[in-house]
Amino acid sequence: MEPLLTAKGLAEKLGLAEQTIYNRNSNGGDLPPSIKIPGGHPKSPSDGHFKIPQ
């Protein structure tokens, strides 16, 4: 299984603002695929986890 990151974790890894991750995810920007995990602690309806290829 590939490791997963939250939007916040991905933002930290890429050196971007967390809001930038949400914006790019909503607008089809250049990001790894995201998945929603049931029972998580979403901060917003669009919050997901991102698959990080190794």
**What pLDDT does 45 receive?**
45
What does the pLDDT look like over 2-54, one tens digit per residue?
A: 678 888 888 998 999 999 988 998 888 888 888 777 665 555 444 567 766 55
Which residues make Cβ contacts (< 8 Å) with residue 47, sequence separation at least 6? 6, 7, 22, 36, 40
- What pLDDT is attached to residue 18? 92
Q: One-letter amino acid identity for 29?
A: G
Task: Determine the 3-state secondary structure of 52 from DSSP.
Answer: coil
pTM of the model: 0.64
- The domain ranges of the chain are 4-51
